[in-house]
DNA sequence: ACAATAGTTAAGTGATCACTTCAGTGTTCC
DNA sequence: GGAACACTGAAGTGATCACTTAACTATTGT
């Protein structure tokens, strides 16, 4: 469920750009239109739309058009998938360190 | 502490490449040399070294050279920083949804 | 009907990316 | 000392990126 490498590629790639992270940050406080997302950014509306398309293709956001306004919102499941990938690797490493610590403590006892 | 946009850029960018994620995955199971990391990958050793430099510059791994062998290991704090950025945005969104749900439930009671 | 609004699309540009090959450097083993 | 080993660095290449401008569509307000 959403764990294929291609999707992770798209998500991490999408998050790699500061403008796109800023959009995600804004959306984490609630849905917004394209112009609202563009407002704090020093770039053309066209560029913003392109970033938005990257975010949507990655699955990190979902958009819906009503009249002439496109409303964007966060897709928390996608965020969770990225989060989960990182978390699993970090935990694997930390569990390994714990086991190593236990081992060293034991061999010290037996010296 | 590690939350500046530039560092996050580097980390997410580093994680955006499948080869680099594969290396991080391998390293999550324990330290490895450059050649060990290269072994499952279908690319030149030189390319692997370049990926490794990207990972190290991002802070996601740390490397140490002993004799002619460079040993690479994961830097869990960096993983935690990336994880944390995503987690905060996701939680902000989900808390918002909860509040919205409460509000709707209340207004329904008062109808 | 007309103008303003909200967004979309296409084409182009310069920068960065993910490699490659090839020619090194320093290290260990015999 | 010399061969094999484990990288390292520089240069080049084709692909992708993050924009820009400009021309366009569809919707809303007067």
Q: Which nucleotide is nearest to A69 (CA to C1')?
A: C6
Q: Which residues of A touch B13 (CB under 8 A)?
A: 12-13, 16
What is the model's pLDDT at position A109? Answer: 58
Tell me whether residue B15 is exposed, middle or buried, using C-beta atoms within 10 angstroms of its C-beta: 0 to 12, 13 to 18, 19 or more: buried
Locate the chain A residue with the closest alpha carbon to B5. Answer: A18
Q: Which residues of B touch A75 (CB under 8 A)?
A: none
What is the model's pLDDT at position A104? Answer: 75
- How many domains, in total, are found in chain A? 1
Question: Is pLDDT above 90 for A26?
Answer: yes
Digit-coded pLDDT (tens) for B21-54 = 999 999 999 999 999 999 999 999 999 999 999 9
d(CA B27, CA B14): 14
What is the model's pLDDT at position B102? Answer: 65
| CATH number for the domain that contains residue A59 | 1.10.10.10
Instruction: Give the residue numbers spanning the domain of A101.
Output: 5-109
What is the model's pLDDT at position B105? Answer: 74
Q: How many Å lie between the alpha carbon of A47 and the closest alpha carbon of chain B?
A: 19
d(CA B78, CA A104): 26
B71-98 mean pLDDT: 96
CB A79 within 8 A of CB A28: no
pLDDT confidence of A1, banded at 50, 70, 90? Answer: low
The DSSP code for B103 is H
What is the model's pLDDT at position A36? Answer: 98
Which bases of strand D sit closer than 7 A to a protein CB?
A: 5-10, 17-23, 26-28
Q: How many Å lie between the alpha carbon of B62 and the closest alpha carbon of chain A?
A: 13
d(CA B3, CA A37): 22
SS3 A26: helix
Q: A16 and B21: CB-CB below 8 Å?
A: no
């Amino acid at each position: 469920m959403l764990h294929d490498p291609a999707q992770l590629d798209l998500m991490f790639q999408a998050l790699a750009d500061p403008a796109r992270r800023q959009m995600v940050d804004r959306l984490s406080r609630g849905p917004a239109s394209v112009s609202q997302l563009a407002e704090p950014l020093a770039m053309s509306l066209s560029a913003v739309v392109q970033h938005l398309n990257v975010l949507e293709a990655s699955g990190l956001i979902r958009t819906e058009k009503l009249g002439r306004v496109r409303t964007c919102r966060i897709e928390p499941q996608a965020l969770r998938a990225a989060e989960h990938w990182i978390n699993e690797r970090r935990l694997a490493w930390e569990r390994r360190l714990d086991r190593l610590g236990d081992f060293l403590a034991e061999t010290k006892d037996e010296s």
